[in-house]
Amino acid sequence: MSAPSYRALFCDLRSDQLLDVLPLQGVSLDDYIGKTGTASGTIPITNAGIAERVRAAVVPGRTALWLERGREIWWGGIVWTTSLQSSTRGFLTMQVQAATFDSYLDHRMLTDTLDSKGVDQYDIVRTLLDYVQGTPGGDIGITYDGAPSKVLRDRTYSRYDLPKIRDLINQLAGVENGFEWRIAAYRHPESGRRVKELQLGSPIRTGTTEIVLDHPGPVLSYTWPVDATAQANGWQSRGATDNHNQAADSHPIMSELLVADADIAAGWPRLDGSSDYSTVSTQSVLDAHARADWTRARAPLTIPDVTVRVDGTITPALLGATVRLRIRDLWWPQTLDQRFRVVGLAITPPERGRPETAKLYLEAA
């Protein structure tokens, strides 16, 4: 049985009105929790009619791209770059590159001061999104629910900093007891409409049925990187410059110095790290950022990935889901049997005899 075909839907970003369905070859797509996903492909321009359609429908910064597999939406985002290319024989193609809808928040800045006292951190994010979509031309149809995180924050964002909205959300998410966020793209199961939905979680978790992945078996290959280049057991963060005393030299506020004495006692060398938060002027907030950064830095970064064939269980809905990975080989002769959360996936559609595969990026559940 052949895999369902992919279709590229090009729509107006603001209204989501369908502009055209165009052939897209060499498709690649990925999506993640915690960073922007991408999609790319090439449109063959075989005649003047196709050229006119592409010119009308594919406008970087204004066009949304939805990738449909069968009748399901597997990816959605914004076309940001195109590249028209002519070969030596005169064949025309257009390369298209797009990023998931969260990339829009990289292109929006806060130009008003927002002050939140004792506000649920999820509501601060929703307030920022409402600000974005409440400005003329800013509503691109991102929806959200009202579920609380039950973590209250005090935040003041100054218009004089001209911060990007995405940076504000990421900074809020990265503090101690923070959260994860993404903008999911899917087709509503009842109405059939295309949906851009803000998802928030601490962490984001989806799915109720555990999927078992075996190697040898459904897992075709895997990689297991361990990266200690950013590992640190000593940490200090730097905040905004304290300008209250004009007669004294100005210095940034500093977090408490954090050192993992237990790591040193266990034989680890001292490894120092730091982070900067130039807009954070409250000591307690800076200390909370430092503790969160220090906690993440104490262990080597390990995000294994496995490549599997795409079947009925492997879909973009796996982001946030738990899988059980079992590997038996020379490295794990006694069999690795561990649960992981899927935090990213990259899908390679079938083309010219190439099977449809997915690379799943994992973190310990």
CATH at residue 95: 2.30.300.10
Mean pLDDT calculated for residue range 148-170? 95
pLDDT at residue 241 in the model: 87
Same domain, 308 and 221: yes
Percent over 90 (pLDDT), the chain: 86
pLDDT at residue 350 in the model: 84
At 243, the pLDDT band (50, 70, 90 cuts) reads low
Same domain, 139 and 193: yes
Do the strands 251-254 and 305-309 form a parallel or antiparallel pair, or are they unpaired?
Answer: unpaired
The answer to whether residue 153 sits within a structural domain is yes
Same domain, 348 and 250: no
The answer to whether residue 1 sits within a structural domain is no
Placement of tokens 């924050």 in the chain: 153
Q: What is the mean pLDDT of the chain?
A: 94
Over residues 11-49, the pLDDT tens digits come to: 999 999 999 999 999 999 999 999 999 999 999 999 999
Placement of tokens 């449109």 in the chain: 43
Over residues 245-272, the pLDDT tens digits come to: 555 677 899 999 999 999 999 999 999 9
- Cβ atoms of 46 and 53 closer than 8 Å: no
Residue 279 clears pLDDT 90, i.e. is over it: no
pLDDT at residue 209 in the model: 81
3-state helix, strand, coil split of the chain in percent (to 5) is 20, 45, 40
Residue 4 clears pLDDT 70, i.e. is over it: no
133-142 long-range contacts, CB within 8 A, separation 24+: 137/14, 138/108, 139/14, 140/13, 140/14, 140/64, 140/101, 140/104, 140/196, 141/14, 141/16, 141/196, 142/101, 142/183, 142/196, 142/197, 142/198
Look at the chain and report how many structural domains it folds into.
4
Same domain, 193 and 58: no
Same domain, 175 and 85: no
Same domain, 94 and 13: yes
Same domain, 87 and 195: no
On the question of a cis peptide bond just before residue 349, with omega within 30 degrees of 0, the verdict is no
The answer to whether residue 140 sits within a structural domain is yes
Domain boundary residue among 75, 101, 127? 101
Range of the domain at 271: 234-297
pLDDT at residue 248 in the model: 60
pLDDT at residue 354 in the model: 79
| d(C-alpha 338, C-alpha 139), whole Å | 43
The answer to whether residue 63 sits within a structural domain is yes
Same domain, 216 and 306: yes
- Model pTM? 0.92
Same domain, 116 and 96: no
CATH at residue 175: 3.55.50
Compute CA distances 253 → 143, 256, 279, 280, 281, whole Å: 38, 10, 11, 9, 7
